[in-house]
Every structure is written in structure tokens, then in C-alpha cells.
């Protein structure tokens, strides 16, 4: 099968809602205000409801309940709003078969995205581009689940997602894996080339275009997320499992300390969007 065939088998190509596209432009504009963002959020009742729900969650709630989008936006801030809008827009676009754990998929996506943001800040890369790249890094998996369900069922039966064995099995069955599919979707969505490349080269960042550090950030974040999953979270065992050269030059003690609140926030987003 060719990637074009996979996309052709989809009844309709998932598209990011117009309100979410408008909000993404606003978030990228340094002159945007929270009031303007709030007015755009109000145009979408689903995103509005999720913003209010998160603003009143224990992590953000103050002495009183937030009852307006303006108040909720001020309470959450730009970065959290951006995360919520992107997550809400993307998670509502896809469905999968009974053998695929969609909730676990999105939890892992949020976790990788959050780790990407932390790593990017530490190396001086664009943290919001890193977050988007991490959030989208395995989005191609959902297109494989949707566009090639019979093949996906066979793959799901033998290999859990986001492992080298899973990607290798996809390549054997289809001729490509989720990084290539995700990069093609990012291209069709007109996402920036830097994000397309971050998704495409996550498994071989050394082959990425010169000067683009985002594939390295995604590769490192996936490695860290896998270690956390396999070794009980932010533990010494997880830290010991992260060995050079890919993880260099990160200070793992500093990274793990910075990830404590990030992992907690990831779980809140997963619960909010479940």
C-alpha cells in the first residue's frame, strides 16, 4: 500500500475546526490579547465548556468559581489555553476500533508533548512548536487505524502502540509507519514545515534537515515517555534506562524535577478530554 492509497480510503480527511485554526493564529500573534482569544473561544460551545471545566478544576480554581470565558482565560493563561484548544480540536477528529485504546493513546500524546515543551525550553528551542510536534508525533497512527482497519487490527493484536516493534510491523504490513503518515497529514493540514519534519524524522533525527532541532526533541521526549511508562513514572529506574547517545546532552536530574508538575497536568488534560 502507498500512503496516498491510505488517505484515499478515508471517507473524508479530518480537518481542524475553523475556530481552532483562528485560535492557533491568535496564539502565534505576539499582539493578541486574552480578551480577544476569549471572544474567539466563545464561538465554539464545546471548547468553551472545556475551558470552563478546566478553569474550575482543583489545580486552577481560586476562591471562587469561574463562570465566564474571560475569567477562565485569565486564570488559565496563554500556554494552557493553547494546549487545551489544540487538544480539543485534534482529539475530536478521530475514532478507532475496539482493539485500540484511544484514551491511552491521547494520554501518551499529551505526555510526549509536555516533555517536548520542557526539553525545548532547556535547549533554547521553540517550546510551543515542540509541544505541537509532540502532540502530533503519532497522529499518523490514528489514520492507519481509520484508513486500514483490518491491517490495524492485526497489528494491534501483536504489538502495542508507540514501540519499535509496532512501527516495524506497520512497515512490514503497509510499507510505511505512523511517522510518514503523520507527516503527510501535517502537510495536508498546512502545518509549518518544521512540524512536518519533526514528525517525519522522529525515528531518525540525524537525517532531519540541518538546523531543525525539533526531530531530536520529539525523539528524546518519546524515549523519556517510554521510560516513564516502563519503569513506574519519574523513578530512578526510569532515569537509569535513559542512556546515551540519543538522550545527550540533557541533565536528567533537572529534567525529571521539571516534569513533576507536567505529568500531573497531562493526566488532567486526558481526563478532561476523555
Successive 10-residue mean pLDDT values, the chain, 274 residues: 77 77 85 92 89 83 83 87 82 77 86 94 92 91 79 67 59 77 88 92 92 94 94 95 89 95 77 66
pLDDT of 119? 96
pLDDT of 163? 54
Contact yes or no for 260/234 (Cβ under 8 A): yes
Q: How many CB atoms lie within 10 A of CB 95?
A: 11
Q: How many CB atoms lie within 10 A of CB 29?
A: 11
Distance CA(14)–CA(143), nearest Å, equals 9
- Going by C-alpha positions, the residue among 65, 62, 72, 66 that lies closest to residue 37 is 72
- Structural domains in the chain, CATH included, are 3-12+96-273 (1.10.3210.10), 17-92 (no CATH)
Distance CA(117)–CA(132), nearest Å, equals 9
Amino acid at each position: 500500500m502507498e500512503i496516498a492509497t491510505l488517505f484515499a480510503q478515508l471517507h473524508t480527511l479530518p480537518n481542524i475546526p475553523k475556530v481552532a485554526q483562528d485560535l492557533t493564529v491568535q496564539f502565534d500573534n505576539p499582539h493578541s490579547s486574552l480578551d480577544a482569544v476569549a471572544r474567539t473561544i466563545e464561538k465554539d460551545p464545546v471548547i468553551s465548556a472545556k475551558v470552563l471545566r478546566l478553569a474550575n478544576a482543583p489545580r486552577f480554581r481560586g476562591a471562587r468559581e469561574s463562570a465566564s470565558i474571560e475569567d477562565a482565560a485569565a486564570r488559565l493563561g496563554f500556554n494552557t489555553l493553547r494546549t487545551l484548544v489544540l487538544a480539543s480540536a485534534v482529539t475530536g477528529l478521530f475514532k478507532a476500533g475496539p482493539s485500540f485504546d484511544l484514551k491511552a493513546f491521547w494520554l501518551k500524546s499529551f505526555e510526549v508533548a509536555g516533555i517536548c515543551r520542557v526539553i525545548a525550553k532547556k535547549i533554547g528551542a521553540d517550546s510551543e512548536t515542540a509541544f505541537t510536534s509532540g502532540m502530533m508525533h503519532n497522529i499518523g497512527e490514528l489514520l492507519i487505524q481509520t484508513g486500514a482497519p483490518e491491517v490495524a487490527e492485526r497489528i494491534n493484536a501483536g504489538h502495542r502502540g508507540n514501540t519499535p516493534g509496532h512501527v516495524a510491523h506497520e512497515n512490514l504490513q503497509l510499507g510505511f509507519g505512523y511517522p510518514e503518515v503523520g507527516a503527510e497529514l501535517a502537510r495536508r493540514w498546512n502545518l509549518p514545515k518544521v512540524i512536518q519534519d519533526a514528525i517525519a524524522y522522529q525515528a531518525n533525527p540525524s537525517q532531519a534537515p540541518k538546523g531543525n532541532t525539533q526531530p531530536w526533541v520529539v525523539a528524546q521526549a518519546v524515549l523519556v515517555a517510554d521510560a516513564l511508562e516502563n519503569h513506574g513514572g519519574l523513578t530512578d529506574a526510569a532515569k537509569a534506562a535513559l542512556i546515551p547517545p540519543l538522550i545527550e546532552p540533557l541533565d536528567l536530574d533537572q529534567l525529571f524535577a521539571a516534569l513533576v508538575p507536567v505529568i500531573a497536568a497531562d493526566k488532567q488534560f486526558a481526563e478532561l478530554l476523555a
